[in-house]
Amino acid sequence: MEWLNELFRDPASAAHTVLIISLVATTGLIVGSIRVFGINLGVAGVLFAGLVFGHYQFKLDETVMDFAREFGLIIFVYTIGLQVGPGFLASFRRQGLPLNLMAAVIVLLGAILTIVLAGSMGLEIPVAVGIFSGATTSTPSLAAAQQAIRQVPHQPGDLSGPGLGYAVAYPFGVIGIILSMIAVRSLFKIDLKREAEALSQSQDGSGSGLATVNLVVRNPQIQGARIKDLPIVGEHNVVISRILKGGHLEVARPETTLDVSDIVLAVGPKERLEQLKLIIGNESSVDLRLIPSNITTRRIVITQPKALGKTIPELDLVRRYGVNITRVSRAEIDFAPTPQFRTQFADTVMAVGDSAAIEQVARELGNSLKQLNSPRLAPIFLGLALGIFLGSMPVRVPGVPAPVTLGLAGGPLLAAIVLSRIGRIGPLIWYMPISANFMLRQLGIVLFLACVGLRAGDRFIPTLLGGSGLLWVCTGALITLVPLLGVAVAARFFFKLNYLTLCGLMAGSTTDTAALAFATQMANSDAPSVSYSTVYPLVMLLRVICAQAMVLFFMPYL
């Protein structure tokens, strides 16, 4: 059995490295999937499995472990950037700006509180930032902190400190977020059914989302006016897709003129459709979508490179095919296209027109599931290279003794956000199928957490059971509860924020899917998911920046 002992105990062996990481990952994922009172550790279970293996002296070669950890980190943050990039700017639109401001306050309050507690309790910054990451269940900030420690000049750089702090603070981090939701509900004596009804009514009148309306022309002042000359159409995300003129149903074209008694079908935000109604006339009882005709609708996915980066007028589908594009779906957000809108790979458009013409349009736009699902490796590796280049670029910051870099966490994240927002450069398309993105992201974070746990394992039990363990737990509890409860109470008391929206904000400000699942289950509604997804991109980026800033600015002094 000498071969078996060598396989498990020889750190220099490649087989040993793969075996230990695989066993840690398998054990951690199984443990993380176990639910207790509806809560599970998820992928964080890999960290705790790594701590156990590390405690029992299962070691990896230091160089190999550093590579696996850093490579996992790069893959993880890069795929996150690809996911949040397309919707990053959209999250700051009018409805999302107040929520993002509140989420930013929660993040910044947590960071400030961490520094204050670290200074008053004598905690080392690496440990304090690890507690900050665990208390807010933010694995990316843990990764960013470990990477930033390497950049601090003339410092020993204890890479196990953040992992230990994270592991000690994480369990209450998950529970504390849920307790905060329950506390707010109890404090304000909230009726969930009433909150759901109020939210539904506010959304119905807010203009959020897209709607359709059939309008009959009654205003004689627009007699003979062209559709493209109506003040609401085009510039304000409103599209008129069909028109019933003289008993004949046809596709509405920009040059189509309006006559009194015509009936039009319009698509757009609800508040804009109300404005269009004031201009055109009354709502019609006739639904043009139900009138038998050759006109049909079809969702088409844009996968043809020649169709990318073009506006709807540049595609010229109405003149050439008589097909109208009434709405677009991008990054799970539906909107009516404006004349300035430019297509990106994987956009899904709603086409209205004759069935034969729509088939021609589908061929021109691509509509290829094979293209949609096929991996595009060259843009991935080029994006990683650009991310590492950005992360390694030194930037002089006043007050910092050495140049600051974004590091292997910030560089790939920034590169992915920018590239996914651009979408395409020449033949290179920065699009990754959701399944592929999730697979690579999980692989990256599993590699990272397994290595972090293995490195810190021999110190975890003594720390947890020693005098500092309870101090760290209490510190993490304060970092979890104080910012969440402070902002939540203010949001409810002063701004009358709907409780379901507030729960999504609280879960999103900690990027905690377990808390989101609890909120949706408690409310029996998907409403919390809306505010969660609204604040998620900004919070993810802010937590990474805060973790790096705490290390770079305060580690040399605390």
State the chain's mean pLDDT as an integer.
83
pLDDT for the residue numbered 34:
84
Residue 315 has pLDDT above 60, yes or no: yes
User: 160-187 and 45-55 are packed helices; what angle lies between their axes, rounded to 10 degrees?
Assistant: 140
Q: Are 324 and 353 in contact (CB under 8 A)?
A: yes
Kindly state the average pLDDT of the residues 192-203.
Answer: 77
Residues 145-174 pLDDT 10s: 887 787 766 555 556 788 888 888 888 887
Share of the chain above pLDDT 90, in %: 24
Beta-carbon contacts of 368 under 8 Å, excluding residues fewer than 6 positions away, are: 301, 303, 304
- How many CB atoms sit inside 10 A of residue 127's CB? 24
For residue 196, what are the CA distances in angstroms to 165, 203, 206, 522? 38, 11, 15, 12
Token pair recorded at residue 330: 């991008």
Kindly state the average pLDDT of the residues 351-378.
Answer: 87
Beta-carbon contacts of 549 under 8 Å, excluding residues fewer than 6 positions away, are: 111
Mind giving me the DSSP string for 491-542?
HHHTT---HHHHHHHHHHHTT-HHHHHHHHHHHTSSHHHHHHHHHHHHHHHH
- How many CB atoms sit inside 10 A of residue 11's CB? 14
Q: Are 217 and 262 in contact (CB under 8 A)?
A: yes
Kindly state the average pLDDT of the residues 525-551.
Answer: 81
> Which one, of 136, 88, 215, 184, lies nearest residue 503 by Cα?
184
- Produce one character per residue of 481-509: b if its CB has 16 or more CB atoms within 10 Å, e if not: bbbbbebbbebbeeeebbbbbbbbbbbbb
pLDDT for the residue numbered 521:
73
User: Distance between CA atoms of 324 and 318, rounded to whole angstroms?
Assistant: 6
Q: pLDDT confidence of 342, banded at 50, 70, 90?
A: confident
Q: Counting Cβ atoms within 10 Å, is residue 194 exposed (0-12), middle (13-18) or buried (19+)?
A: exposed
Mind giving me the DSSP string for 330-379?
ETTEEEPPPTT-B--TT-EEEEEEEHHHHHHHHHHHB--HHHHHS--HHH
pLDDT for the residue numbered 88:
64
For residue 474, what are the CA distances in angstroms to 467, 516, 556? 12, 24, 25
Residue 103 has pLDDT above 90, yes or no: yes
Question: Identity (one letter) of the amino acid at 235?
Answer: E
User: Distance between CA atoms of 169 and 475, rounded to whole angstroms?
Assistant: 8
Residues 486-495 pLDDT 10s: 999 999 999 8
- How many CB atoms sit inside 10 A of residue 139's CB? 25
pLDDT for the residue numbered 206:
44
Residues 472-484 pLDDT 10s: 989 999 999 999 9
Q: pLDDT confidence of 205, banded at 50, 70, 90?
A: very low
User: Distance between CA atoms of 51 and 461, rounded to whole angstroms?
Assistant: 9
Kindly state the average pLDDT of the residues 83-91.
Answer: 67
Enumerate helices (H) and strands (E) in the chain, giving the number of each.
21, 11
Q: Are 215 and 281 in contact (CB under 8 A)?
A: yes
Residues 27-40 pLDDT 10s: 998 988 887 766 67
- Stated pTM of the model: 0.69
pLDDT for the residue numbered 202:
65
Kindly state the average pLDDT of the residues 423-448.
Answer: 84
Residue 140 has pLDDT above 50, yes or no: yes
Which residues are registered as beta bridge partners of 210? 269
pLDDT for the residue numbered 154:
54
User: Distance between CA atoms of 108 and 114, rounded to whole angstroms?
Assistant: 10
Q: What is the DSSP letter of 95?
A: T
Token pair recorded at residue 287: 């639904």
Residue 402 has pLDDT above 70, yes or no: no
